[in-house]
Structure 1
Amino acid sequence: MGIQFSSLVPCCVYSQVKASVIEVPHTGNEDRSEADNGPAFREFTFEQLKNATSGFSVQNIVSEHGEKAPNVVYKGKLENQMRIAVKRFNRNAWPDSRQFLEEARSVGQLRHQRLANLLGCCCEGEERLLVAEYMPNETLAKHLFHWETQPMKWPMRLRVVLHLAEALEYCTSKGRALYHDLNAYRVLFDEDGNPRLSTFGLMKNSRDGKSYSTNLAFTPPEYLRTGRVTPESVIYSFGTLLLDILSGKHIPPSHALDLIRDRNLQMLTDSCLEGQFSDDDGTELVRWASRCLQYEPRERPNPKSLVAALAPLQKETEVPSHELMGIPHGSTLASLSPLGEACSRKDLTAIHEVLEKLGYKDDEGIANEVLYLNLLYASKIVLEKV
């Protein structure tokens, strides 16, 4: 056990091997995991989404991109109490309202348990917004690069890459093979701790595929040559995610391939994984990462090949994801008070709403102190239950 990876290099550095890549062909039976019972795609009014996000409150911001005019993602709650994620675009991102609606409706037809499904959109005046299922348990980037309580275990890392490959296979089977800027921030975790691919990345800002945006060190080589995203470009980005999973760091592909060629895999492997996997498992993951990162797009595997390769590697398949992740689960939270549930999620907005209902006032010192002590007690109970 461990991370020795003996005799690894000859089988995984494909840039020096010109043998053809055998692909598993796509078939028409990829719908077995399709979530038919999900809510249908719909169009929202701007007022509905404004109310759902408390007026696009900064407290509800989940993530934002760009420096001068960011596309911001908010969490919110509809009138039926359904929790949602709302992406509000920079007004220059979608000047053509018809194109925006066509793209949103197309992506909105997808329904799968491996996706954070797109539930709707809003197109009023210059406003362009998308609405998706809300994923409460952070991103892959958070759990890999900025973990707080425990690093991600090896069986969970394998589950993440399989679920991601299955999401890409499904999207490809539905004619949505292009995914823009696939990275660890696009992989989200639902209330059960299962990884899902954000559908926001399936939306493009133009029909010619020129909406790829990422660090140049991680950009597919063909994009640097042509400025266009292809299905093979998505596989290259998947390869960078395999490196993230293995290393626990965001290593540039060129540097990773140098480490593989030099058999310096100690530098490539997350030290937190010591003793958690066999040499064979580690070798196989590195081999597929190398194939995904081939310079020539035609030498990279397709999503169906990745699913076929990653499925046999799975470990502890009977253990729920939330247990592997060490995060609170719905059944645990069901017995908690609203305040305790909000504390368990570290949801400051929900905590504030509960405190307001309890009569919290900024100018009532003693009452505030009592409520604050109750809050600390609730947090303690949550930690003990988890």
Structure 2
Amino acid sequence: MQLTSLVALALAAPANALIRFSCSQLVVDRIDPLVTPGMAPSPHLHQIIGGNSINATMDPAKDMPGESTCTTCQFTEDTSNYWTAVLFFRARNGTFKRVPIRPNAGFDGAVGGMTVYYMQNGLADYQQRSKVTAFKPGFRMLIGDALARTEEEASKYRQVTYTCLQDMSTRYPETKSLPNKPCPAGIMANIRFPTCWDGTNLDTVDHMSHMAYPATGTFDSKGPCPDTHPVPVPQLMYETIWDTRAFNDPNEWPEDGSQPFVWSMGDHTGFASHGDYLFGWKGDALQRTMDTPCYVTCPTLTTQSIANQNKCTAERTIQEDIDSWLPEIPGGPTISKKYLLEARGTRSKGGL
């Protein structure tokens, strides 16, 4: 969606709410309290936003909002935690460099992080008419598969995609694989979560089975929820803009023309993109907001400055070098065989 369209939507009079807000970087750390709670270091590196109570375990019995003393998110009532894997650039000489994150349009000054949405209908719907039930305390979910390496494996996650940004207003087209050409303004990773809840479980063993996509159609087309998951919830969406501009020199890309970016779990295809969520809104703030006519910003919520967002940080649990040119990605994940073969063919050619 173009930024002019966002402005037009903001001037409309919606029946209910769509919120879009910035969250600065909280920490980049090798922990994963959803998939591998208590394991430190976790198998791969994550970039995390939200409340500063994040830790390697995150016991679901704890009150997340009560534990956090600040949040990197624009609305102070939101001390949820949101995270994704981390993107690396692989030079021709076989070394890796962590790709920084740039703020989204309209959120200049934010240090890294993501843009988060909660929607009742698709982003292009001016009215947001649907009634949704906000997530409950203790709710958690995951979308995507860190082990996926083929389009078929990734296809079950309908809206985990990428946008090759020509400029900061680019939103289309979206692809399932990482872009195979330099993107002038960066690579946007888009994570949209399912919108139908079973109404009972706050979490499940795989962190996904309590959620489902619409039985027919899509969230954007207002498709109905399946009988097994009858409760419509807001669509949670992440936008992360990986600032690949420093790595756009084609002379540093693989000679065969393949793309050089690798996720922190060793995936260079892009099919393993995934997102994690731990609900942490204070009280009934999210439900009140979803029930209030507002767009982007809402009178039910307290907005803090980007400068204050940036002040909220968490100490890294795992002290390791994540900023230098590295001989391997932290944790030493296995990179796709095809990519390793390509790298062997170019390693002797030099690099950064």
Q: What range describes the TM-score normalised by the shorter chain of this pair?
A: under 0.3
Instruction: Return the structure number with greater strand share.
Output: 2
What TM-score comes out, normalization by structure 2 length? 0.23
Larger radius of gyration: 1
Higher helix proportion (structure 1 or 2)? 1
